[in-house]
Amino acid sequence: MTDVLSRRDLDFLLYEWLDVVSLTTRKRFAEHSKDTFDAVLDLSADIAHKHFATHNKKADANEPTMRADGTVEMIPEVKQALDIFSTAGLTAGQFDESVGGMQLPTTVVRAAMTWFQAANPSTAAYPFLTAANASLISTYGTEQQIDDYVRPMLEGRYFGTMCLSEPQAGSSLADITTRALPHGDSYRLTGTKMWISGGEHELSENIVHLVLAKTPGGGAGVKGISLFIVPKFLPGSDGGFTERNDVTLVGLNHKMGNRGTTNTLLSFGDGTHSPYGQAGAIGFLVGEEHRGLAYMFHMMNEARIGVGFGAAALGYAGYLRSLDYAKARPQGRPVGANDPAERAVAIIDHADVRRMLLAQKAYVEGALALGLYCSRLVDEQDTALDKSAATDAGLLLDVLTPIAKSWPSQWCLEANNLAIQVHGGYGYTRDYDVEQFYRDNRLNPIHEGTHGIQGLDLLGRKVAMRDGAGMTLLGSRITEAIERARRLSHHAVRCADELEDVWNRLVDVTDALLSEPDAAAALANSSVYLEAFGHTVVAWIWLEQLTVVGDKDGAFYDGKRAAARYFYTYELSKVGPQIDLLKSMDRTLIDLDPAIL
Amino acid sequence: MTDVLSRRDLDFLLYEWLDVVSLTTRKRFAEHSKDTFDAVLDLSADIAHKHFATHNKKADANEPTMRADGTVEMIPEVKQALDIFSTAGLTAGQFDESVGGMQLPTTVVRAAMTWFQAANPSTAAYPFLTAANASLISTYGTEQQIDDYVRPMLEGRYFGTMCLSEPQAGSSLADITTRALPHGDSYRLTGTKMWISGGEHELSENIVHLVLAKTPGGGAGVKGISLFIVPKFLPGSDGGFTERNDVTLVGLNHKMGNRGTTNTLLSFGDGTHSPYGQAGAIGFLVGEEHRGLAYMFHMMNEARIGVGFGAAALGYAGYLRSLDYAKARPQGRPVGANDPAERAVAIIDHADVRRMLLAQKAYVEGALALGLYCSRLVDEQDTALDKSAATDAGLLLDVLTPIAKSWPSQWCLEANNLAIQVHGGYGYTRDYDVEQFYRDNRLNPIHEGTHGIQGLDLLGRKVAMRDGAGMTLLGSRITEAIERARRLSHHAVRCADELEDVWNRLVDVTDALLSEPDAAAALANSSVYLEAFGHTVVAWIWLEQLTVVGDKDGAFYDGKRAAARYFYTYELSKVGPQIDLLKSMDRTLIDLDPAIL
């Protein structure tokens, strides 16, 4: 079976570019070395290939079903794989040793986890959600909450969920209606939560739901939102977590892809169960009342970068599959050599197939590199010795997060589209993996904030915040890369010039949009802005890679140069018309009378 | 239930723009009138909504299965719908009255059939393939073949297939290995055919396979290919078609979408059946030996335009679904009005949702208009009084066919992508129709010649043929439209100017590519050329519509103006960088060493 990801590329990104080994000089990572990083990467690749990839197709074809008693049935391979994952300690990769973690850099953990996202995103979703949940409680929860929930989650005994959306409130969390009323030292919750991944299953002893709900006195909209731990099982009279809380599975969502993950509609406090003989689902406040959304957004930024990694991972897996196929499949003859007596060539010899392969390579390697760059910023934010370096990393991360989420979701889905196309009719059948990758990847532009939401976040908030400090900082990083490229690599000079030009135009149009007095007009094309910004950022990421590649010899480096060349030649040029459109402050969308559609 | 297509738009295109009523002055259509055209459109819409749309989802969820005895099981609704379709005479819409047809213009038949392609493309595929098959036999077959096969197909008693591809020969028909050896007044065929839609089922009394096979003496490659009628049932001793021919179902293909159509791997002459006690599948030559591919290409051009209609139809259905959803779904508040005490607005009030709706409208209405324009050319080619008008129509049709196939396949798939995005998470579930549209539509860039094949056809053949006569003719039509627009509609002047500029640049780069001595270099980016050409052609089609719309009042016309404005503002600008790339004769693809990927 083809690998789902390239270890050589990960080594290049982690060691040659991002120099993660230098992180071992930081106190937090002092116990680590290149050897321990390699070990976790090797272990992840091995488990991902042997235990996750092997049931990816089966889980897609046999999605979880709801039994009459409200429990969920699924194929046994999911639990088998997750038990191996948990036993290997992988849920706890980046957590403190004090709570049972490996205290690894985020960058290394993300790279390791990408193997699982490429091999089987549906099964990987369970521990990923659990780690995100545990991270949140370990940051804002009490010692008791950490002991009760974080430790068993990191051991893989409990799994976690994030309960934000409701049927009537997806992107608009201000409109959630789940209520929590104080009752003694806990709260009673009532309401319905939609799109809850991992909301019900029998994969773990307990499920720790993190639930957004409104408590009295917090004001309207998001201000009234608090965050609660609502475990499926509460402490029972025997000391164990045996008392069933009033969280009930109402139904499973049936999706185009990502079918292996239970995705649920959950009811809280509808009286199906009455824990301790009382009404309402019992929840425990995390942190302070009415700060729930801020806590959740701590997790949300990580989750958004995680979505980008997921998209990149599927794109990568599809690229490698279609590359193998293109090398093996004979069909047709070169232009001008149509003698049918001659043997057919492999389709990789056709220019258009090469275009589709190079496009995929440029998208997926660009996306993976962007994700790892952002992860490196997380490590910098968390452990930089110099406080201003940490602040800068956080600021840059804020600006880049909507790109790290949206760009891979758009372009690695397109990569999967091309992977199918390389396979021709075969790629459209379920006998080949690429059709599933395409279906699975279609989720990524939707969840954790749609494409449109990311555009509003970028243009309406991130580039404007602190008087444009994030934008300025990004500009200085890009300028540094341009100057470095001009000094170090003759291959990169043309790219440096082009990037400089596009970046200057992007800064210019950003200024124009931010000084537009009519906010609705300024934001009307924020998705176009997001896409122009994204291509520019990824061009910079490719320039960074080119600079590291320099004039080094070898097929791997030649491949990097070819993909960068492709990106600058075929992709970056798309940005010009987008910037022109933005500059024109076109009013087509806002002046539209919806009645005419 | 939302309509799957807009009758108002069809009326606009057929009557206000393409003036199909004027065709009734032609002898072939003299029996017809606007009333008969309307009647077939009404009937089609009615049957499509009542009998096809109603099992589209069910057929997707319950794809045909192969029984142990080699027959196929499918849901009964398919046959029920097809019986109604056949009884209404719809298979025979454009056929001569002499063979039982309605002798309708192609343009009207295509418009009518679009209702079925939008309502349920999988079920519609059976009669569509049958009509294409019947058209081919009625053109090149003998009177006896017409009596034996065409008449029962047009009555809906027999269904037809097209057997071109083989497992090792998809795009490259030169490499087919199915053999036909003469034997008395018929032939014996042996070989395997792949991707055969409708290859086995019990929907009809007989299945008429049209099979490409190589006969001795024709030379290598495509020159040796002949065309055969290979019926599932041959004439038996009782006079009926009761003798089982040696055509055997080997397996069904399981696809991402289009699941309701049986798609088969068929074996010919493997000895499973021995008709009349003899070996080999019995086939009857159509026309002359070694001219099979030319006959098939007669059908292929129609089939390619049909694929474009199929893509447009699914795009249209998705657009209308997402439009309804966007008007009904409340979520969020306008920019600058974030008071949570205010009611949420319908999502159609958000600029980015409007962008996604206008993009869909511009794509799907543009694609439908392009398909109908091409169909009008078919009618002109078939019935123009003036011979040079008929020749011109055929020439223009040749140039436009790769666009009519590829452009809708690319952009109406993107429309379905946007339709999902408008629905948010709901659109990704199988509870809503749009996820199926997206899966179904993904087939269209693959079958009947992939996207890459269309690019080679356009740049390598169509724009060069007859010293560029097709390109010149297209140019004169575009120039006429530009001049008409400048005279008639003040809304269209800006569009006319922009189109003129882009068209001139396209002509310019076409000349440069055609005079490039290195054919491989000239054709390296033929897919990019195809896309630039496609957007330019659709811009022209929108200008044509704008000219008809003129300054007319009313929501419908306002909608057309808004979609045209969208297309020119957001879409046509994409062509510039593509032309620049083509002009640079970039060698990234052809110089690539595949070993570095």
B chain contacts of residue A435, beta-carbon cutoff 8 Å: 255-256
Same domain, yes or no: A197 and A241? yes
Q: Which of B425, B435, B442 sits opposite A420 (nearest CB)?
A: B442
**Domain for residue A592, yes or no?**
no
Residue B4, helix vs strand vs coil = coil
Give the model's pLDDT for residue B214: 96
Chain A interface, best mutation among B259, B428, B456, B584, by max A CB count within 10 A: B428
Instruction: Residue window 26-85, chain A: list those with CB within 8 Å of chain B.
Output: none
Q: Is residue B31 part of a domain?
A: yes
Q: How far apart are CA A272 and CA B448, in angstroms?
A: 55
Nearest Cα to Cα of residue B515 among B457, B580, B453, B585: B585
Does B514 reach chain A within 8 Å, measured CB to CB? no
Domain containing B336 equals 291-448
Dist. CA B531–CA A538, nearest whole Å:
24
- Would you state the pLDDT for residue A183? 94
> Phi/psi zone of residue A70: left (φ > 0), alpha (ψ -120 to 50 degrees), beta?
left
Q: Are residues B439 and B467 in the same domain?
A: no
Kindly list the distances between the CA atom of residue A50 and the CA atoms of A38, A44, A260, in Å, as whole numbers in the listed order: 18, 10, 17
- Predicted local distance difference test score (pLDDT) of residue B245: 97
Contact A427, A419 (CB under 8 A): yes
The rounded distance, in Å, linking the Cα atoms of A95 and A117 is: 20
Give residues with Cβ within 8 angstroms of B533, minimum separation 6: B403, B458, B506
Alpha-carbon A529 to chain mean position:
21
In terms of domains, do B264 and B363 share one?
Answer: no
Q: Are A200 and A74 in contact (CB under 8 A)?
A: no
One domain, residues A312 and A438: yes
CB contact under 8 A, B171 and A555: no
pLDDT at B171: 83
Is A480 part of any domain? yes
Say if B595 falls within a structural domain.
Answer: no
Q: Searching chain B, which residue's CA lies closest to the CA of residue A522?
A: B335
Q: Is the pLDDT assigned to residue A1 strictly greater than 80?
A: no
Which of B290, B316, B333 is the last residue before a domain boundary? B290
Q: Is the pLDDT of residue A221 over 90?
A: no
Domain assignment of residue A593, yes or no: no
Contact between A451 and B421 using a beta-carbon 8 Å cutoff:
yes
Cβ separation B354–A594 shorter than 8 A = yes
Q: Which of residues 445-474 of B touch A (CB under 8 A)?
A: 445-447, 450-452, 455-456, 460
Between chains, do B580 and A562 touch, taking CB under 8 Å as contact?
Answer: no
For residue B439, the SS3 value is helix
Minimal Cα–Cα distance from B24 to chain A, Å? 33
- Tens-digit pLDDT profile for residues A104-142: 999 999 999 999 999 999 999 999 999 999 999 999 999
In chain B, % helix, strand, coil (3-state, to 5) comes to: 60, 10, 25
B439 C-beta neighbours (distance < 10 Å), count: 25
A57 vs A430: CA distance, rounded Å: 9
Which residues of A are tagged catalytic?
448
Residue A340 CB neighbours (<10 A) = 17
The pLDDT of A439-447, averaged and rounded, is 98
Residues A228 and A172 occupy one common structural domain:
yes
Q: Which residues of B394-419 are buried (b: 16+ CB within 10 A; e: fewer)?
A: bbbbbbbbbbbbbbbbbbbbbbbbbb
Q: What is the pLDDT of residue A111?
A: 98
Q: Dihedral angle at the C-alpha atoms of B305, B372, B118, A527, nearest 10 degrees?
A: 90
Residue A2 lies in a domain: no
Q: Does B455 share its domain with B439? A: no
CATH number of B297's domain = 1.20.140.10
pLDDT interval class at A298 (50, 70, 90): confident
The reply to whether A407 and A441 lie within a common domain is yes
* Residue B596 belongs to a domain: no
Distances (CA, A) of A143 to A138, A286, A296, A439, A525: 8, 11, 19, 41, 46
Write down the pLDDT at residue B122: 98
pLDDT at A236 over 90: no
B402, B433, B448: which is the final residue of a domain?
Answer: B448
Write out residues 4-23 of A within 8 Å (CB-CB) of B: none
Element (H, E) at A265: strand A263-268
> Rounded to whole angstroms, how far apart are CA atoms A187 and B224?
81
Contact (CB<8Å) A442/B428: yes
Per-residue pLDDT of chain B (597 residues; tens, 9 = 90+): 689 999 999 999 999 999 999 999 999 999 999 999 999 999 999 999 999 999 999 999 999 999 999 999 999 999 999 999 999 999 999 999 999 999 999 999 999 999 999 999 999 999 999 999 999 999 999 999 999 999 999 999 999 999 999 999 888 898 999 999 999 999 999 999 999 999 999 999 999 999 999 999 888 888 899 999 999 999 988 888 999 999 999 999 999 999 999 999 999 999 999 999 888 999 999 999 999 999 998 888 889 999 999 999 999 999 999 999 999 999 999 888 878 788 899 999 999 999 999 999 999 999 999 999 999 999 999 999 999 999 999 999 999 999 999 999 999 999 999 999 999 999 999 999 999 999 999 999 999 999 999 999 999 999 999 999 999 999 999 999 999 999 987 879 999 999 999 999 999 999 999 999 999 999 999 999 999 999 999 999 999 999 999 999 999 999 999 999 999 999 999 999 999 999 999 999 999 999 999
Sign of CA dihedral B588, B592, B594, B597: negative
**Does A524 sit within 8 Å of B220, measured CB to CB?**
no
Last residue of a domain, one of B426, B448, B470: B448
Q: Is A341 on the interface with B (CB under 8 A)?
A: yes
Sequence-distant (6+) residues with CB within 8 A of A332 are A344, A345, A347, A350, B171, B172
Q: Kindly report the CATH number assigned to the domain that includes residue B470.
A: 1.20.120
**pTM > 0.90:** yes
A425: confidence class by pLDDT, cuts 50, 70, 90: very high
Cβ–Cβ contact B338 with A under 8 A? yes
Q: Alpha helix (H) ranges present in A424-464? A: 434-441, 451-457
Residue B397, Cα to own-chain centre: how many angstroms? Answer: 14
**pLDDT at residue A338 greater than cutoff 90:** no
Residues B239 and B347 in one domain: no
Q: Which CATH number belongs to the domain containing residue B165 in this structure?
A: 2.40.110.20
- Is residue A492's pLDDT more than 80? yes
Burial string for B464-502 (b: 16+ CB within 10 Å, else e) reads beeebbbbebbbebbeebbebbbebbebbeebbebbbeb
% helix, strand, coil for chain A, step of 5: 60, 10, 25
Region A161-176 average pLDDT? 92
Name the residue of chain A whose CA is nearest to B413's CA: A417
Least Cα separation, residue A582 to chain B (angstroms): 10
Q: What is the reported pLDDT for A491?
A: 76
% chain A with pLDDT above 90? 92
Whole-number pLDDT of residue B341: 81
Nearest to B340 among A170, A221, A451 (CB): A221
| Structure confidence at residue A301 (pLDDT) | 85
Q: What's the confidence (pLDDT) of residue A143? A: 97
The reported pLDDT for the residue numbered B299 is 82
Closest partner CB to B519 (pick from A335, A346, A430)? A335
- The total number of structural domains in chain A stands at 3
- Is there a single domain that holds both residue A33 and residue A142? yes
**B346/B466 same-domain check:** no
Which residues in chain A touch residue B452, judged by CB atoms under 8 angstroms apart?
350, 352-353, 421
Per-residue pLDDT, B9 = 98
Which position has the token pair 């509870």? B431
Active site residue B448: yes
Residues A273 and A402 in one domain: no
Q: What is the mean pLDDT of residues A92-110?
A: 97
Give the tens place of pLDDT for each residue, A244-283: 999 999 999 999 999 999 999 999 999 999 999 888 999 9
CA distance B496 to chain A (A): 18
pLDDT at B300: 85
- Is B439 a member of any domain? yes
Contact B218/A at CB under 8 A: no
Q: Tell me, what amino acid is at B372? A: L
Which pair of tokens denotes residue A549?
A: 């590649």
Element housing B190 (H / E) = strand B186-197
Residue of B325, B589, B590 to mutate for A, most A C-beta atoms under 10 A: B589
State whether B230 and B300 are in the same domain.
no
